[in-house]
C-alpha cells in the first residue's frame, strides 16, 4: 500500500475525526485541519492517543498545503467560501469530497438542490486543477469512532473523473473497511451519492440504528 500525507479539513468534527483515526492507524501521515490551529492540535492529540501514532494539527490552509491528498469533511453551509479560500492548497491535489448537502425538516432529512450538481462538482469548478473524488459519504461518524474493528460489512462508494485519483481513494477506503472502495462512476454521480445519506439518516431514525451501504454482486 502506498502511504500518503492526508489533510482532513474540518477534522475537528465527528466525521473527520472518525476518518482520520482509521487513516492514521493504516500508516498514513494525517494532518487535521481546522479554522483554528490550536483546535486542530488538540483534536489531533486525542486521535493520536486513541490510535497510538502521531497525528498533526494545523490551520486548514497549512494542512492542505502540506498534503498530497486532502479530505474535505465540513458542513455544506459555508462550503463554497471555504473551498475558495483553500484553493491554493488544493490545486493539483487529489481532493476527496465527503460533504453531504442536506436539509432537515419535520419530514426528516432530504438532499438539497445544488447549482453545480453536488458539493464535489462545486469543488471541481472552484479548483479546476484539483483531481476531485467523492467518497466516504455514507459512513456513520459514531461507528467510525466507536468501532473496535474495521467496518468490513460496509462499502465506500467512490466517484470521480480521474481514474488514477479514484484508484488512490479506493485504496484509502481499505483503511476503514478492510477492502477497496467501489467505483460508482464519474464525478457527476456525486449528485446521487450525497443525497443518499439523507435516506440512511431517515432509516437510522425510523429503526434506531446506524445503517450503511453494502454492494452485492461484485468480486472482491
Stretch that binds ligand NAP, among 61-69, 99-107, 152-160, 163-171 (CB under 6 A): 99-107
Nearer to ligand NAP, 100 or 177 (CB): 100
Stretch that binds ligand NAP, among 11-19, 109-117, 153-161, 172-180 (CB under 6 A): 11-19
Nearer to ligand NAP, 3 or 104 (CB): 104
Stretch that binds ligand NAP, among 7-15, 44-52, 86-94, 159-167 (CB under 6 A): 7-15
73 touching ligand NAP, by CB under 6 A? yes
32 touching ligand NAP, by CB under 6 A? no
Nearer to ligand NAP, 77 or 164 (CB): 77
* Residues 184/158, Cβ–Cβ less than 8 Å: yes
For residue 26, which of 190, 219, 188, 171 has the smallest C-alpha distance?
171
| DSSP bridge partners of 32 | 8, 57
Question: Quick one: which of 77, 115, 148, 164 contacts ligand NAP (CB under 6 A)?
Answer: 77
How far are the Cα atoms of 95, 153, 175, 199, 218 from residue 41, in angstroms, in the given order?
22, 32, 23, 34, 41
Amino acid at each position: 500500500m502506498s502511504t500518503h500525507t492526508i489533510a482532513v479539513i474540518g477534522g475537528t468534527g465527528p466525521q473527520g475525526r472518525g476518518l482520520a483515526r482509521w487513516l492514521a492507524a493504516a500508516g498514513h501521515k494525517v494532518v487535521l485541519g481546522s479554522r483554528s490551529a490550536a483546535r486542530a492540535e488538540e483534536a489531533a492529540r486525542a486521535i493520536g492517543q486513541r490510535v497510538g501514532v502521531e497525528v498533526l494539527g494545523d490551520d486548514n490552509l497549512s494542512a492542505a498545503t502540506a498534503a498530497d491528498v486532502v479530505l474535505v469533511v465540513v458542513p455544506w453551509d459555508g462550503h463554497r467560501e471555504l473551498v475558495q479560500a483553500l484553493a491554493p492548497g488544493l490545486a493539483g491535489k487529489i481532493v476527496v469530497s465527503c460533504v453531504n448537502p442536506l436539509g432537515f425538516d419535520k419530514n426528516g432529512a432530504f438532499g438539497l438542490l445544488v447549482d453545480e450538481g453536488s458539493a464535489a462538482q462545486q469543488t471541481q469548478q472552484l479548483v479546476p486543477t484539483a483531481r476531485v473524488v467523492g467518497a466516504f459519504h455514507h459512513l456513520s461518524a459514531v461507528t467510525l469512532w466507536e468501532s473496535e474493528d474495521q467496518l468490513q460489512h460496509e462499502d465506500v462508494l467512490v466517484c470521480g473523473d480521474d481514474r488514477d485519483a479514484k484508484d488512490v481513494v479506493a485504496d484509502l477506503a481499505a483503511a476503514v473497511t478492510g477492502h477497496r472502495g467501489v467505483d460508482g462512476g464519474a464525478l457527476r454521480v456525486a449528485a446521487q451519492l450525497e443525497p443518499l445519506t439523507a435516506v440512511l439518516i431517515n432509516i437510522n431514525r425510523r429503526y434506531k440504528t446506524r445503517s450503511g451501504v453494502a454492494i452485492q454482486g461484485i468480486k472482491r
